Amino acid sequence: MRQAPPRNVGDSDNKRDNMSKQLMEVVLPRLAKPLYHHLERYRSGELSDQQFTRKFESLLQRQHAWLSKRGVSGARAAVAIHAGVLVLSLPGLRAEATERGLPLEVVEQQAVREAAADVARNYNLEERRIADAIATIVSRYGE
């Protein structure tokens, strides 16, 4: 009887990394343009806090639905969208860190934990694994 060749664990990690990379290359531009448009309107006073929040939530829901229609699982889409928002929010996180007198890493980690808690709660997943996935994406695309 022939034995199967040893499975290279790195292969599945590479495939997962490639899929994440492709997903983020789709998510980031789809989030960036409308998000910045809404931010500009908010900063200029055209949108109230409540209006901005509604538009932002609607944007995230549309992105999630768009990814789901293309076969991306709900949890995977949520991780990508949350990570994308954090990547696009890094200038604001930097400003917050400066205002609070904290290292950026502390403020960034708090944001990652909040995002991971939301995904974990909504998809019944382990928060630590989700936080690791989001943090990896943020560190890869953050600069």
Tell me: pLDDT of 6 over 60.
Answer: no
What are the pLDDT digits (tens) for 53-70? Answer: 999 999 999 999 999 999
The pLDDT of residue 21: 81
pTM passes above 0.85: no
CA distance 78 to 83: 8
Whole-angstrom Cα distance, residue 58 to residue 98? Answer: 30
Amino acid found at 85? V
Question: Two tokens at 42?
Answer: 């908010």
Mean pLDDT, rounded, for 26-37? 93
Helix axes 74-88, 127-141, angle to 10 degrees: 50
Confidence of residue 2 (pLDDT cuts 50, 70, 90): very low
Kindly state the tokens that stand for 113.
Answer: 């934990």
Round the average pLDDT of the chain to a whole number and report it. Answer: 88
CA-CA-CA-CA torsion sign (55, 59, 64, 68)? positive
